[in-house]
Amino acid sequence: MFKLKENHTNTKTELIAGITTFFTMVYIVVVNPVILADAGVPFAQVFTATILASVVATLWMALFANYPIAIAPGMGLNAYFAYSVVGGHHGITYQTAFAAVFVAGIIFVILSLTPFREKLIEAIPENLKHGITAGIGLFIAFIGLRQTKIITAHPSNLVGLGDLHSASASLALAGLAITLVLMVLRLNGAIFFGMVITGLIAFFTGQLSFKQGFMSLPSLPEGLIVANPFTAMGDVIQHGLYAVVFSFILVTIFDTTGTMIGVANQAGLMKGDKLPRARKALLSDSIGTTIGAMFGTSPTTAFIESTSGVAAGGRTGLTSLTVAILFILAAFFGPLVSAVSGLAAITAPALIIVGSLMMGSISKIRWDELDEAFPAFLVILSMPLTSSISTGIALGFISFPLLKLVKGRWREVHPLLYLFAVLFFIQLAFLQQ
């Protein structure tokens, strides 16, 4: 099934690669419930939904696309869900927001079955893509700093330095230092093991306790959050969440496709400039997003941490199958994860470090061309300052074609981008809630 000999690998290598990938990305089962809890979603619901979505999407990648790429709810998208969609819109509950994710997932599945997804990727300028990635990175790093009170509200400058002697800030800074050392030493799973060590420090200093034990059967206290696609569509229409749906689709398309190509290229699986079985691979995140929304988690995406498994020799879907099985086993450690996620200082270093890695996209922006650089800068600046990923995307998409028009280079702009600019302008000018 996995064509191990054809891909110059073996079962042992694939299993080790799967274990490596799992430990580099398992932090998501802790961090995702922490972020979505700020939107009011119960911990147990998010924890189980995160694993369900990850297992379904990663199994699809393993069995149908045969790639060593793992899928799980994405960092940045969960922050957008919690702080921009639920936190930034009056009267929007997390149930309504999941309806928007569900609709985005269905549209995503349809787009993945057609050439439109590839055309949409081609339509967006490279500098805006890099700006979106960097802006999301800055935003989630800001969230990590704020959750641990390393930075706090300031009466005149909005934000300022917090009390670094507080237990939360001290533990977070210690965890950040430990994790960075592990990453510099190139330890596979550095973020996960950094959380483990930080958790041990918290336990021995009395900040962390395990009153509920370590293991239990997984549960879904809310059951199915979204079950009827027509009801979900009605919620989107009623609350005017068109820009939200579009933002979910847009960010996920760029994030997943870029990651898949990067991982496949590292593994030597590209055929020229094309990704074999691309359509089957691209269906994995869209199916995961749809399933995840039904049970209670934000959109799924391909994890760049999959490169660690590839570096360990992973070349086929057997690596992904191993990751999926390990996620299933993780579902039985809910009480342990719940205790850890209740202490923001343990998970904040992961947010800050992942944010810094995403900021690397800044180096790819053409800063010497103002009509290219300023829209990207606007995206990066506005995401953390407005606490809204969609607002950052909107401002970038509006300013880019305007500057090109002024410079007389309007032919360089894809017609779809003009359409997006008009839609985003209408949303900001007349539909902002």
111 closest CA partner among 231, 258, 250: 250
- 3-class SS of residue 150: coil
Residue 3 lies in a domain: no
Residues in the chain: 433
Is 5 domain-assigned? Answer: no
Query: What is the C-alpha R_g of the chain?
Result: 21
Q: What count of other Cβ atoms lies within 10 Å of the Cβ of residue 271? A: 8
Full residue range of the structural domain in which residue 29 is found: 11-430
Asked if residue 6 belongs to a domain, the reply is: no
- Count Cβ atoms within 10 A of the Cβ of residue 86 and give its class: 0-12 exposed, 13-18 middle, 19 or more buried: buried
CB atoms within 10 A of CB 94: 23
274 backbone dihedrals φ, ψ, rounded to 5°: -110, 150
Token representation of residue 394: 């909107």
Q: How many separate helices (H) and strands (E) can be counted in the chain? A: 19, 4
> Could you tell me where the beta strands, DSSP code E, fall in 43-130?
71-73
DSSP 271: B
Total structural domains within the chain: 1
Angle at CA of residue 395, ends 394 and 400, nearest 5°: 105
Q: Is residue 60 part of a domain?
A: yes
CA–CA separation, 382 vs 424, rounded Å? 15
Residue 132: what pLDDT?
81
With respect to residue 68, please indicate whether it lies within any of the assigned structural domains: yes
Instruction: Give CA–CA dist 408/278, Å, rounded.
Output: 37
User: ∠33-39-41 over CA atoms, to 5°?
Assistant: 55
Please state whether beta strands 158-161 and 71-73 pair in parallel, antiparallel, or not at all (unpaired).
unpaired
Instruction: Check residue 207 and give its pLDDT.
Output: 87
Q: Which residue from 294, 283, 289 is spatially nearest to 231, judged by alpha carbons? A: 294
- CB atoms closer than 10 angstroms to residue 399: 19
The answer to whether residue 362 sits within a structural domain is yes
Kindly state whether residue 367 falls inside one of the protein's structural domains: yes
Residue-wise DSSP of 307-350: HHHHHTT--SHHHHHHHHHHHHHHGGGHHHHHHHHT-HHHHHHH
Q: What is the spatial distance between Cα 168 and Cα 141, in angstroms, rounded to a whole number?
A: 16
Residues of the chain scoring pLDDT < 70: 117-118, 120-122, 254-255, 258, 261-262, 266, 272-274, 430-433
What does the longest C-alpha to C-alpha distance in the chain come to? 66
* Residue 135 near residue 379, CB atoms below 8 Å: yes
**pLDDT at residue number 240:** 83
Give the DSSP letter of residue 80.
I
Residue 133: inside a domain: yes
Please, which residues bridge with residue 73 across strands?
300
Query: What is the torsional sign of CA 424, 426, 429, 432?
Result: negative
The 3-class SS string of 2-64 reads CCCCCCCCCHHHHHHHHHHHHHHHCCHHHHHHHHHHCCCCCHHHHHHHHHHHHHHHHHHHHHH
